[in-house]
Amino acid sequence: MDSIEKNKQYKENKKLEKSKTKTKEKIVKARTKKPIVSKSKPITRKTKTKVVKKKTSTKLRKSKLLKRAKQVVYARDKNICQHCWVSCSWSNRHASHVIPVSATWRLALYPLNMKVMCYHCHMNWWHKNPIEASERFKWKFPERIDELKRLQLSLPMWTITPTELDVIENMINEFEVLYWLA
């Protein structure tokens, strides 16, 4: 029994020593740590739960253009689901992509690639029957599908240059003027 107690005491002492050295190391690191400023990495800010990266200017521009493109689509389709013809609003209204974003991110910003759908049709018809849905879209909007195929073949898949963002922004501006959103 005596050797068991000595062994327990020894282990407890080791744990205390380790914790003391770790806290000393942390204090020393905190005192000597200097902030590193790098131009290549985005600036981050720490919150209690996670580190949040600030968006770069191109990412911010893409997200703003996507929001504007959705507003154009809502105005163009007059907030009416293109499948069931029911009026949609707020959370029931989705801007669904004809050619999926996973196929090419570039077409995600084009209003030609979007249509208004209610939540039910978007989730339970468009995503569950993609072949039937694309056939119906081809039948209903043949000129739009031809233009989308041309764009898909002519554009590289993933990278978007600032000049192309300018072109997309000009196209969205034209649509906004056309649908009285400006």
Query: Could you state, in order of their start, the residue ranges of all structural domains in the chain?
Result: 67-178
pLDDT, position 44 = 59
| Tens-digit pLDDT profile for residues 41-81 | 555 555 555 555 555 678 888 889 999 999 999 999 999 99
Tokens 């049709």 sit at which residue?
A: 121
Is there a contact between 118 and 88 (Cβ–Cβ < 8 Å)? yes
Q: What is d(CA 161, CA 151) in angstroms, rounded to the nearest whole number?
A: 15
Span 120-143, average pLDDT: 91
Give the chain's mean pLDDT.
81
Is there a contact between 83 and 115 (Cβ–Cβ < 8 Å)? no
Tell me the chain's radius of gyration from C-alpha atoms: 28
Q: What is d(CA 168, CA 66) in angstroms, rounded to the nearest whole number?
A: 10
pLDDT, position 125 = 92
pLDDT at 39 over 80: no
The pTM of this model reads 0.65
Q: For a pLDDT cut of 90, what percent of the chain falls above it?
A: 32
Q: For a pLDDT cut of 70, what percent of the chain falls above it?
A: 80
pLDDT, position 122 = 94
The pair of three-digit structure tokens given for residue 177, joined into one six-digit string: 């003027």
Confidence of residue 9 (pLDDT cuts 50, 70, 90): confident
The pair of three-digit structure tokens given for residue 30, joined into one six-digit string: 């905190």
Higher pLDDT, 35 or 86: 86
Q: What is d(CA 64, CA 70) in angstroms, rounded to the nearest whole number?
A: 10
Higher pLDDT, 178 or 6: 178
Confidence of residue 167 (pLDDT cuts 50, 70, 90): confident
The pair of three-digit structure tokens given for residue 126, joined into one six-digit string: 């468009």
Q: What is d(CA 6, CA 169) in angstroms, rounded to the nearest whole number?
A: 76
Is there a contact between 136 and 96 (Cβ–Cβ < 8 Å)? no
In sequence order, what are the beta bridge partners of 87? 80
pLDDT, position 13 = 77
